[in-house]
């Protein structure tokens, strides 16, 4: 069964990695979909994000990384995914995620959404918070892979 874990991954964090690692043990094939998401004005280009995600996930043998544009549900259909995996960091994420899952179910009744809650050590990590800490010169080594830390340091040289 193919599952899809979609995101912008701007950049990929240890929180993302945790969800991906756990999802990879639940599903035979996991596609990590890196959304183009120009409306979010990502810090990193799509190619840079793909490169970082591939580097961080290179030890997994049942994970494919792929870029996509447009609706996630359409991408899920195109790769014949049966499941969309979503991470929940806190109850605050729940409302938005449940609305999204409900809409996706209306658009594609044969694709399920599965929620995985973040572990306590990653519940507060978000890409935007990581970017902000890095921009201010803070230590992000506990929150991202070294390749991501280097990429952020390069952008935010002070």
Tell me if 153 sits within 8 A of 134, measured CB to CB: yes
pLDDT the model gives residue 46: 98
pLDDT digits (tens, 9 = 90+) for 58-110: 999 999 999 999 999 999 999 999 999 999 987 778 889 999 999 999 999 99
Strands 63-68 and 83-88: unpaired
Domains in the chain, start-ordered, CATH in brackets? 2-155 (3.40.50.620)
23 is written with which tokens? 């999802």
26 is written with which tokens? 């639940």
Q: Report, as residue numbers or ranges, the catalytic residues.
A: 16, 40, 89, 127
- In angstroms, the Cα distances linking 78 to 7, 31, 64, 148 are 16, 12, 14, 29
Please say if the pLDDT value at position 119 is more than 90: no
Q: What global pTM score does this model have? A: 0.94
For 37: left if phi > 0, alpha if psi spans -120 to 50, otherwise beta; the answer is left
Please say if the pLDDT value at position 122 is more than 90: no
């Amino acid at each position: 069964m193919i599952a899809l874990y979609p995101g912008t991954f701007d950049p990929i964090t240890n929180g993302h990695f945790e969800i991906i690692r756990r999802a990879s043990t639940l599903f035979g094939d996991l596609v990590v979909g890196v959304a183009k998401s120009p409306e979010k004005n990502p810090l990193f280009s799509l190619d840079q994000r793909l490169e970082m995600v591939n580097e961080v996930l290179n030890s997994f043998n049942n994970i494919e990384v792929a870029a996509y544009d447009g609706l996630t549900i359409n991408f899920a259909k195109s790769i014949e995914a049966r499941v969309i995996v979503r991470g929940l960091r806190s109850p605050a994420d729940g409302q938005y995620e449940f609305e999204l899952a409900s809409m996706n179910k209306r658009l594609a009744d044969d694709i399920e959404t599965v929620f995985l809650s973040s572990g306590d050590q990653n519940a507060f990590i978000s890409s935007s918070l990581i970017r902000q800490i890095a921009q201010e010169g803070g230590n992000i080594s506990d929150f991202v892979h070294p390749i991501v830390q280097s990429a952020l340091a390069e952008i935010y040289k002070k």
